[in-house]
Amino acid sequence: MKKILIISAYLLPFVAVAQNKNANAKAIEQKVDELIGSWLKHDYSDMANYATEDCDWVNIKGMWWKGRKEVEYAHQVYHKTIFKNTSLKKNAVNIRFITSDVAIVHLSWRTGAFTTPSGNQVPEGDDLATLVYVKKSGKWLLTAAENVNVVEASQKSNPVLKMPK
């Protein structure tokens, strides 16, 4: 019995850390879902609920928006125009904790077709966003993001596909 108590006392902190990490991952994924919800509603007025005031975003074309005010405004402009009827579907979320209050999220999502301001038709396709979340006052918030287009034809040339195991 004494051995069981000693082993339990030793393992308890590890179990608590694992449970806390799982709860944090769920909280972060909920914030990712709020971001996607803004897209689906084509309304980013709720961004303060899931992004820091000093957050920044690099969009798929390399435009760098600094601060939540700019990020919200730019998203809203595009959602009143080119994305006003465009869907978005979450494919996968991968979360890696850097510290107990910083996490890197890789979000794979599929964007519906749209027409660019210059009139080019863009078919639906996959994107990959790198999102940085920080925990402030017990709440996970987006503080930085970069979105890239996944070019399917290029994926076949990815050198890690031929990397020795």
Per residue in 122-152, pLDDT (tens digit) is: 999 999 999 999 999 999 999 999 999 887 7
Cα within 13 Å of Cα(67), Cβ side? 3
The percent of residues above 90 in pLDDT, for the chain, comes to 75
Res 159 pLDDT > 50: yes
First to last CA, the chain: 44
Number of structural domains in the chain: 1
- What DSSP character marks residue 11? H
Cα within 13 Å of Cα(90), Cβ side? 18
Res 19 pLDDT > 60: no
Per residue in 52-79, pLDDT (tens digit) is: 999 999 999 999 999 999 999 999 999 9
Secondary structure string (H, E, C) spanning 75-101: HHHHHHCCCCCCCEEEEEEEEEEEECC
Q: Residue 130's domain spans which residues?
A: 2-162
Nearest alpha-carbon partner for 21 in 96, 132, 94, 90: 96
pLDDT band at 153 (very low <50, low <70, confident <90, very high): confident
Cα within 13 Å of Cα(40), Cβ side? 11
Helices (H), 42-130: 68-80
pLDDT band at 20 (very low <50, low <70, confident <90, very high): confident
- Tell me what percent of the chain is helix, strand and coil, each rounded to the nearest 5: 40, 35, 25
pLDDT value of residue 149: 87
C-beta neighbour count of 128 within 10 angstroms? 16
As a whole number of angstroms, the distance between CA 69 and CA 48 comes to: 9
CATH number of the domain to which 18 belongs: 3.10.450.50
pLDDT band at 11 (very low <50, low <70, confident <90, very high): very low
As a whole number of angstroms, the distance between CA 110 and CA 53 comes to: 27
